[in-house]
Amino acid sequence: MRLPRAAWPALALLAAPVAARGVEVVRIEVASGAAEVELSGPGLVAEPLREGASPEPVRGGRARVRLDGEVLRLDGKAVEGAGLAFRADGPIRHGRRDLSGEVEVRRARDGLAVVDVLPLEEYVAAVTGGEMPASFPPEALKAQAVAARTFALARKLAAREEGLDADLGATVLDQVYPGVGADPRVRAAAAATRGEVVTFERRVIEAYFHSSCGGTTAGGEEALGRPLPYLRSVPCGRCGAAPAHRWRAVVDPARLAAAAGLPGRATAARVSARTPTGRAERVEVEAGGRRAAVTGVALRRALGFDRVPSPAFAIRLAPEGFVLEGRGSGHGAGLCQWGAAGRAKAGEDYRRILLHYYPGTGIVKAY
């Protein structure tokens, strides 16, 4: 989930678009920078994104859109306008994803962008399944659904203020959107919480979440560089079943040196500063007689988030290389997903779970 580019709007602003359309929709950019895009679907039709255009059937239910220099082409034929809107009688296939029955292919700065336009509640169900295992307890799935909806609505309003063509991306930089066709269990979680969002002082919050905190969540300042009042560190104690509750990684000395911007092979390393919850804030690395300091976040990024799951780690030199031993997975702020599962198993409902991980907030029905 990426940091926002605009302040989150007041909750009162949510009512207007809902009342105008009757159903809230969201625009998800599932691909960007492509020179060519292929789509397929039953009864597929295409309509140029320009005034006065009319939809036309696509032969064989399959379309190929190319950007030939400055010329946009549909199956080889030049098309005027900013792009094309596609509709079908069922899901539209793009790569390995099944998208909704309404997809846009637009000109972008670096090529073509593919934007899925779908009802927000359908998106919430899909994202809940993309971010949390459908096998988790129902109350944990409901908590995830509310967090996902909260994040999406706030991002949507911010995107509208900035005049963007899409509200969110489809990866972990926003929320993982695997496409339509969600598991019945996550659909049930979305339906049971329809329209509910988390607020603080009548504003939709930045509902960050992560896989597992390792025992204690991180505050907004230490995890995101922003002292958000509802992203305070809270004890968890329920995520012990997470696969990355305790983890170990071995890093080659040359790779560690490179991650710190040093030549050669690292000969020493230590965590020289920690955050209030014990996460690595700064790491000092020595190589070739030189020393460099790098933030824990930058080191994770350089070494790979899969290799270094969280900034809560210690580092030491061993015969096999530099050993990092840590706890938890993710930045640590907000909802702990495995903690939510543990709390649900202990009998807590989704509202109590959310209010624990976002202290000082409330849950309201936005539509």
Which 3-state string (H, E, C) describes the chain? CCCCCCCCCEHHHHHHHHHHHCCCEEEEEEEEEECEEEEECCCCEEEECCCCCCCEECHHHEEEEEEECCEEEECCEEECCCEEEEECCCCEEECCEEECCEEEEEEECCEEEEEEEEEHHHHHHHHHHHHCCCCCCHHHHHHHHHHHHHHHHHHHHHHHHHCCCCCEECCCCCCCCCCCCCCHHHHHHHHHCCCEEEEECCEECCCCEECECCCECECHHHHHCCCCCCCCCCECCCCCCCCCCEEEEEECHHHHHHHCCCCCCEEEEEEEEECCCCCEEEEEEEECCEEEEEEHHHHHHHHCCCCCCCCCEEEEEECCEEEEEEECECCCECEEHHHHHHHHHCCCCHHHHHHHHCCCCEEEECC
- Best CA proximity match to 211, nearest among 94, 362, 335: 335
Residue 52 is predicted with a pLDDT of 84
Q: Is the pLDDT of residue 81 over 60?
A: yes
Establish how many alpha carbons lie within 13 A of residue 314's alpha carbon, considering only the half-sphere containing its beta carbon: 5
Q: Is the pLDDT of residue 6 over 70?
A: no
Residue 244 is predicted with a pLDDT of 95
Q: How far is CA 302 from the centre of its chain?
A: 20
- Token digits for 217? 């969540």
Q: Is the pLDDT of residue 353 over 90?
A: yes
Q: Is the pLDDT of residue 343 over 50?
A: yes
With contact defined as beta carbons under 8 Å apart, do 30 and 115 qualify? yes
For range 262-284, the mean pLDDT: 98
Backbone angles phi, psi at 329, to 5 degrees: -145, 125
Q: Is the pLDDT of residue 17 over 90?
A: no
Q: Is the pLDDT of residue 320 over 90?
A: yes
Contacts of 60 (CB under 8 A, 6+ apart): none
Portion of the chain with pLDDT greater than 70, in percent: 94
Q: Is the pLDDT of residue 290 over 60?
A: yes
Q: Is the pLDDT of residue 21 over 90?
A: no
What gap in Å lies between CA 280 and CA 277, rounded to an integer?
Answer: 9
For range 192-206, the mean pLDDT: 97
pTM across the whole model: 0.92
For range 145-157, the mean pLDDT: 96
Q: Is the pLDDT of residue 309 over 70?
A: yes
310: confidence class by pLDDT, cuts 50, 70, 90? very high
Residue 51 is predicted with a pLDDT of 85
Q: Which of 9-13, 99-103, 105-109 has the lowest mean pLDDT?
A: 9-13
Residue 22 is predicted with a pLDDT of 66
- Best CA proximity match to 277, nearest among 236, 318, 238, 325: 236
Residue 20 is predicted with a pLDDT of 39
Residue 5 is predicted with a pLDDT of 37
Q: Is the pLDDT of residue 2 over 90?
A: no
For range 6-30, the mean pLDDT: 59
pLDDT digits (tens, 9 = 90+) for 26-74: 999 999 999 999 999 999 999 999 988 889 999 999 999 999 999 999 9
For range 103-132, the mean pLDDT: 96
For range 242-263, the mean pLDDT: 98
16: confidence class by pLDDT, cuts 50, 70, 90? very low
What gap in Å lies between CA 218 and CA 227, rounded to an integer?
Answer: 11
Q: Is the pLDDT of residue 7 over 80?
A: no
For range 210-218, the mean pLDDT: 98
Q: 27 to each of 3, 131, 169, 216, 218, how far by Cα in Å?
A: 18, 18, 9, 34, 31
Contacts of 265 (CB under 8 A, 6+ apart): 253, 254, 257, 287, 288
For range 140-151, the mean pLDDT: 98
